[in-house]
């Protein structure tokens, strides 16, 4: 990970992933997909928190 994406692109990628998973019928989501969605949501929040704290 030598070439990290800028903050806005990171957030866009994470948000796009969350919305793609959210578009799947909840009945068809496996526990693994739910875990991925939850982890992406946490990463999105953590990224925002770090940016707001001036750590990025």
Q: What is the largest CA-CA distance in the chain?
A: 40
CB–CB of 40/14 below 8 Å? Answer: yes
Quick one: which of 40, 19, 17, 37 has its CA closest to 29?
37
Give me the phi and psi of 35, to 5 degrees please.
-65, -40
- What pLDDT sits at residue 2? 63
Measured distance CA(29)–CA(25) in Å, rounded:
7
pTM (two decimals): 0.64
Q: Model confidence over 13-30: pLDDT tens digits?
A: 888 888 888 888 888 888
Quick one: which of 23, 25, 18, 16 has its CA closest to 40?
18
């Amino acid at each position: 990970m030598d070439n990290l994406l800028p903050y806005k692109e990171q957030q866009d990628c994470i948000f796009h992933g969350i919305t793609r998973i959210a578009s799947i019928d909840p009945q068809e989501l496996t526990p693994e997909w739910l875990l991925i969605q939850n982890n992406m949501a946490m990463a999105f929040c953590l990224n925002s928190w770090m940016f707001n704290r001036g750590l990025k």
